[in-house]
Amino acid sequence: MFKGFYTVASGMIAQQRRTELLTNNISNVRTPGFKEDQATIRSFPDMLLSRINATTIPTEKGLNHMYANRVGTLTNGVYMQETLANYSQGQLLETELATDMALINRGMPVNADGVEGTVLFRLQHPDGGEAYTRNGNFTVDANGYLVNAQGLYVLSDTNARMQVGSDDFTLDGEGMIYTANNQQVGRVGVAYSDNPELLVKRDDGLLRLEGNANLPTAYGAQGVTFGLQQKYIEGSNVDSGRAMTELMTAYRAFEANQKVLQAYDRSMEKAVNEIGKV
């Protein structure tokens, strides 16, 4: 009976965490470049239950022989194994702002684990190393540098800050920026990750590698083809309709576990208050 409490409780905890994940996805449905999180839920390993019996051995001392009868298996419930981001391409949204730019995945290799790679904008992080994002909603600061919403400098393919002077510039499909008088400023830095599952989401919406390591450049990477589009940003890849449906499913699963828990509680109450009187 008590084992049932643990099984139901683990199911409720897993569905609660899934609900929190889906709620976060829905709240970021309009966040540029946001990549939805996906959860994997699996069951704990089953336990084999046995009943220990004793058989008297026909000897002078009447010794007992112990043996076990299999009762069956018992599951210990489920748990959320891991959370992985979905790095599929989001819809391109036109903004008419020259400082906005979007990355377009055209051909991304798939690694040995079946995970498709992705490309990301390179940003200079104040703590050292680089940060990465798919959010190309950039602006020009007072010194003429291209920065993101948090004020982090956008890096070029040579690891230098992109100084464009003003928002009067042109970006071609290969990532090269030209000023109004057709002077070449540099190429927007784009990094390539062959395993996006190693990227860690930070509270500020940026992505980083463990240990603040840096990703290699995407330019010239084998099998990687991509483009950049000025005056567009990449929208979130969250499907709001599907996310709402999954949220309701998680809520119903939590509610079902709650009903089972209440039934266990009533059974225990009856066992204590009624059977104990006999």
Taking the CA of residue 52 as centre, how many other CA atoms within 13 Å lie in the half-sphere pointing to its CB? 3
Question: Do 177 and 144 touch, CB atoms closer than 8 A?
Answer: no
- What's the rounded Cα separation, in Å, for the pair 260 and 109? 46
Residues of the chain with pLDDT under 70: 1-3, 45-51, 53-68, 71-76, 275-278
Burial classification of residue 68, based on how many CB atoms lie within 10 Å of its CB (0-12 exposed, 13-18 middle, 19 or more buried): exposed
**What is the pLDDT at residue 227?**
95
Position 272 scores a pLDDT of 73
pTM: 0.79
* Per-residue model confidence (pLDDT) at position 112: 86
**Per-residue model confidence (pLDDT) at position 269:** 79
Task: Please tell me the number of Cα atoms within 13 Å of 20 on its side-chain side.
Answer: 7
Please check whether residue 47 is in contact with residue 261, taking contact to mean a CB–CB distance below 8 angstroms: no
Contacts of 65 (CB under 8 A, 6+ apart): 54, 55, 56, 57
**For the chain, how long is the longest CA-to-CA vector?**
110
